[in-house]
Amino acid sequence: MIRSLPPFVLLCAIVLGGCAPWATYPKIEGATQVSHPELPPIPQLMALALLEVHAKARLEPTLLFNLPEGSSVHVYEKVKRELRYAQRGGEGEPVPFDVMSTPDQNAYHVVELRLRMTDAEVDVVHRDLGGTPQMTTVVLKQELISGWSVIRSRTWRIPSILPQPTYPKDAVPMPASDAEPPT
């Protein structure tokens, strides 16, 4: 059956399947690490997951977010850019967002991202209405034409711990020209 497929189709399958990423961020023992989390699609996946969880929880009008420990200022700036870009075509008013700066803020914490070819999962820890920390896993899928989109999300009933702010305090944000979404 494989021999009956046109050569172009086989070439596309090899290229798309062979070059697809398979990694975890931040690194966990025994898994391939995302070596440059500021490169696509990592910031886009984190932004889409943050928007999904915020839309469901809506605990605060502003989406305060926190990324995994060790995330550079460039990763934060890329996520901000992706948040702006993802909200451009949305309905209604865009959600204001900012980076978590103190431990007492009610924020959404990206704690892990798993990328498996055209599938991804992002774990986000946040408080529920009662103030109890909980984790939501957002499942995303990449389609050839439409790009990445949220397929579903699930909030787990397991105890979670709220991470501390990880934005580098001495960091200088990227210039505004680099932070604007592409047109």
Q: Which pLDDT score, from 0 to 100, does residue 24 have?
A: 79
Q: How many domains does the chain have?
A: 1
Q: Is residue 143 part of a domain?
A: yes
Q: Is residue 65 part of a domain?
A: yes
CA 46 to chain centre: 1
Q: Which pLDDT score, from 0 to 100, does residue 113 have?
A: 95
Q: Is residue 124 part of a domain?
A: yes
167, 101, 62, 121 alpha-carbon torsion, rounded to 10°: 40
Residue 120 and residue 141: Cα distance in Å, rounded?
A: 6
Partners of 66 in beta bridges = 109
Residues 60-109 have pLDDT tens digits of: 889 999 999 889 999 999 999 999 998 886 666 788 999 999 988 999 99
Whether 30 has a pLDDT exceeding 90, the answer reads: no
Q: Is residue 15 part of a domain?
A: no
Q: Is residue 17 part of a domain?
A: no
Q: Which pLDDT score, from 0 to 100, does residue 168 have?
A: 81
Q: Which pLDDT score, from 0 to 100, does residue 14 have?
A: 43
Q: Is residue 11 part of a domain?
A: no
The residue among 28 and 39 whose pLDDT is bigger is 39
Q: Is residue 132 part of a domain?
A: yes
Residue 157 and residue 142: Cα distance in Å, rounded?
A: 28
Q: Is residue 94 part of a domain?
A: yes
Q: Which pLDDT score, from 0 to 100, does residue 78 have?
A: 95
Whether 46 has a pLDDT exceeding 80, the answer reads: yes
Residues 98-154 have pLDDT tens digits of: 999 998 899 999 999 999 989 999 999 999 888 899 999 999 999 988 899 999 999
Q: Which pLDDT score, from 0 to 100, does residue 88 have?
A: 80
The residue among 4 and 132 whose pLDDT is bigger is 132
Domain hosting 139: range is 22-179
- The predicted model gives 20-24 an average pLDDT of 66
